[in-house]
Structures are given as structure tokens and as C-alpha cells.
Amino acid sequence: MPITPATATHSSSNGTADGILLELVDENGVTIGTAEKLSAHQPPGRLHRAISVFLFDERGRLLLQQRALGKYHSPGVWSNTCCGHPYPGEAPFAAAARRTYEELGVSPSLLAEAGTVRYNHPDPASGLVEQEYNHLFVGLVQAAPRPDVEEVAETAFVSPAELAERHGKDTFSAWFMTVLDAARPAVRELTGPSAGW
């Protein structure tokens, strides 16, 4: 992982929240302070900055991940390629690239901003709450994922039809459809009309 001023004092999140600080933001995404990661997710949740990444292969298929069973939040559910939180002072773009490498062992190509979305999603299984101002990113993946087993249980590349089938039978993260729908215009621009997104 590249060392920057924002990452120099932080280690990779391995599914625990000990000592990791998040940026708290207002409704416009302006930083207003920091909070410890787990406390920010306790009900009713505190609005904080997050990132969500959607990577696609050369065939326009989306790379999904199944979150590791050992994660304290939403373990074992399927979700988009990568999610996470910037460290205080870390640019969302840098956090997206960092977390993709930490979780999946790949560096995205053509990573581009895809807007932001604000949501409030309680997770019934854990009792935690996702109050997030989420920065979305899309890009390409040109190498085989090498997941960190503490972060990711499994990966899969899916077409839109395969995603619909999987979404109907498997459990997905509470935020998945919200972030995918918000990123769709950028996804379509990246993958082209033939991919069907």
C-alpha cells in the first residue's frame, strides 16, 4: 500500500473497528469531525464519508464480493466490488484505490468518479446502521482478484441477468441496490450499451 500522510498512521481494516477513525460529514458532505468506526455505526448512526467501487471485466461483467464471515458488520453477504471508508484527510479516490487493493489484491484501471449518494440503511442482523455519504467509483479490473481472506470469502463476475438471478436467491448488503442504482449512469458510460447495465 502506498504511504501517504493520511495512511501513515493507519493499518488495514481487517474487519474489526478498533481505533479506526472515520470522517463525520454534514448533509452536503462537508467534514465536521471524526468518530471511531464502530461508534459511528451504532444506532441511530452518525453520518460519515464512505466509498463504493464497481469494477468490470473486459466483457462488461461486474465483480462482486462476498464479505468474509469474520467481519463484524454484514458478514457473509454479497456486495459490490469494494466498500470502505476514507481515513480522515484521505481523498475518496485514494481510499477507493487503497481499499480495492487491500481487499482484492488488484489495482483498478480507468477508475473514475461516479457521483455520490446519501443513505440510511439499518442492518437487522447486526443492529448496526449505515448512515453514509458515499462516494461512488467505477473502473476496470484487468487482473485476477487475489482476495484477502479476512475481508472477502468469495468473488464472482456477473452479467446483469446473472446478478438478477443471484440477487433473487442470495443475501446482499443492505446498501447494494442503493449504490448500484446511483452509479448506473457511470456504469453504462464505462461498459457501453451492449453490456446491458
Catalytic residue (one of 23, 90, 102, 132): 132
pLDDT, averaged in runs of 10, over the chain (197 residues): 38 53 98 96 96 97 96 90 96 98 96 97 87 98 96 97 96 95 98 95
**Catalytic residue check, 162:** no
Closest CA to 175 of 15, 50, 35: 50
Catalytic residue among 83, 102, 130, 151: 83
Return the pLDDT at 53: 98
Alpha helices in 121-170 (DSSP H): 160-169
Determine the Cα–Cα distance for residues 158 and 95; give it in Å rounded to an integer.
24
pTM: 0.89
Q: Specify the pLDDT at position 1.
A: 34
In Å, what is the CA distance from 115 to each residue of 61, 86, 189?
21, 16, 13
Residue 18, pLDDT score: 56
pLDDT at 134: 98
Specify the pLDDT at position 126: 82
82 labelled catalytic: no
Residue 187 C-alpha cell reads as 456504469
pLDDT of residue 125: 78
